[in-house]
């Protein structure tokens, strides 16, 4: 998801939460009010703005800001999921939230245990391309099952079970990581 697409999605989500704020539904102890979620959305918007400036100035984004954004992203989507609202608005918001969660997952992968392991070990995924053979037809940049298996062994040995679980949870992203560099 590009930055512009994410920004558009973010604005749509903010708009829907603003609409929900106009139609409060009385309930016993609501877990989150639209106002609380809107406050969280605005905090996330500020973090997103910082990331945009950072990328513009330095052509790079610090891991700390990405982690902060990821945590805020999860907090916002969880908040939105618990707002009490009419079903038709829930449906509208659900579509936006689904894409927002997908973007959160992407950021989470980029700052998660597997990515940190790759950074820490300075492991070069392209070395797998030279050491394994695989007959399955797939894009050249994508890791084959054999290459993925070799990577699993490396991750297990060098970084442990938590990182391996993160890798397995994100198998498709891991297999296509080299494609993103092209």
Domain ranges of the chain: 3-111, 115-180
Task: Tell me the per-residue pLDDT of 89-111, one tens digit each, with 9 for 90 and over.
Answer: 788 778 778 888 888 888 888 88
Quick one: which H or E segment has residue 59? none
- For the residues of 125-173, what is the DSSP string, one character each? THHHHHH----S---TTSPPHHHHHHHHHHHHHHH-HHHHHHHHHTHHH
How much is the pTM?
A: 0.66
Closest CA to 1 of 10, 78, 139: 10
Closest CA to 156 of 114, 103, 96: 114
Task: Tell me the per-residue pLDDT of 163-178, one tens digit each, with 9 for 90 and over.
Answer: 999 999 999 989 888 7
Lowest average pLDDT, out of 22-26, 49-53, 60-64, goes to 22-26
DSSP letter for 29, please.
S
Residue 23 has pLDDT above 80, yes or no: no
């Amino acid at each position: 998801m590009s930055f512009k697409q994410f920004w558009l999605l973010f604005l749509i989500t903010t708009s829907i939460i603003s609409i929900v704020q106009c139609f409060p539904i009385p309930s016993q102890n609501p877990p989150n009010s639209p106002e609380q979620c809107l406050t969280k959305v605005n905090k996330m918007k500020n973090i997103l703005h910082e990331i945009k400036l950072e990328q513009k100035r330095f052509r790079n984004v610090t891991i700390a800001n990405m982690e902060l954004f990821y945590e805020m992203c999860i907090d916002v989507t969880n908040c939105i999921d618990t707002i009490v609202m009419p079903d038709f608005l829930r449906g509208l918001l659900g579509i936006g939230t689904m894409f927002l969660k997908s973007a959160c997952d992407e950021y989470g992968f980029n700052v998660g245990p597997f990515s940190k392991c790759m950074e820490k070990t300075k492991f070069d995924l392209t070395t797998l391309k030279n050491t394994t053979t695989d007959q399955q037809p797939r894009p050249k940049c994508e890791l084959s099952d054999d290459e993925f298996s070799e990577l699993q062994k490396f991750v297990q040995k060098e970084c442990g079970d938590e990182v391996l679980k993160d890798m397995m949870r994100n198998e498709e992203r891991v297999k296509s990581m080299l494609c993103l560099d092209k």
